[in-house]
Amino acid sequence: LPSKGLCKTCLSHRPFPPRALPRNRVLKREHNRGRLEIRFLQCLEVTPSQVGFPGARLAARLETRVKRAGQWTREVVFLLSSLTLEQLQAQGMLRLKRNYWVIESRLHHCLDVTLQEDLSRVRTPNSALVLGMLRRVVLSVSNAAVDKARQANPKSKFNTKTFRQRFLSARGGRE
């Protein structure tokens, strides 16, 4: 019995009830920052000689579709892992790829916005290394202060930039 708006071929290709995806594939739909995101990941066990990368045991194809302002964009990324499908199912690989951006937003963005790391004019390798370590220590202390403030009040808008402003004004530094 065809439903209104669907042709016979569409109905014949859509099994009911929908089958569960095997563990080597995962489909995620979610709303993120006011936009719809659909991610589909397929995993395949490989040998290092097949992909030309030492230690590779799992290859994956991640297709991401995002709807922004009524327009769909599509991006395809290929991933490699040294874990097997038994150790890391498709759901776990998608979670790892998603968590990759936590480092970018929690560390690198904070270093640039709070400590203005991109404006640094230090060029000698040892000086850059020492200054980079000091920046990361300061950022760790400020993140701890931010986490403590948010535990006390979860709705707090306290962030590393406000921590910097308070620190500078308390120590008589520039604002």
For 90-131, how does the pLDDT look when each residue is reduced to its tens digit (9 = 90+)?
A: 777 777 777 666 666 667 777 777 777 778 888 888 988 898
Token reading at 31: 């709303």
Give the SS3 label for residue 167: helix
* Rounded CA separation 60/45 (Å): 9
Q: Identify each DSSP E strand in 6-107 by its residue range.
A: 25-32, 35-45, 58-68, 71-81
Which of 22, 61, 27 is closest to 44 using CA atoms?
61
Q: Residues 44-78: pLDDT tens digits?
A: 888 888 888 888 888 888 898 988 888 899 999 88
State the pLDDT at residue 33.
72
Residues with Cβ < 8 Å from 74, sequence gap 6 or more?
Answer: 63, 64, 65
State the pLDDT at residue 99.
67
State the pLDDT at residue 101.
64
* Rounded CA separation 105/101 (Å): 6
Sheet hosting strand 71-81, strand order edge to edge: 25-32, 35-45, 58-68, 71-81
Does the model's pTM come out above 0.85?
no
Mean of pLDDT values over 151-165? 76
Least confident of 101-115, 116-130, 145-159, 161-175: 161-175
State the pLDDT at residue 17.
46
* Rounded CA separation 100/110 (Å): 16
State the pLDDT at residue 93.
74
State the pLDDT at residue 74.
92
Q: Residues 30-50: pLDDT tens digits?
A: 887 778 888 888 888 888 888
Residue 134 reports pLDDT greater than 70: yes
Buried b (16+ CB within 10 A) or exposed e, 52-67: eeeebbbbbebebebe
Nearest-5° Cα angle at 163, 158 to 165: 115
- Higher-pLDDT residue of 173 and 124 is 124
State the pLDDT at residue 81.
85
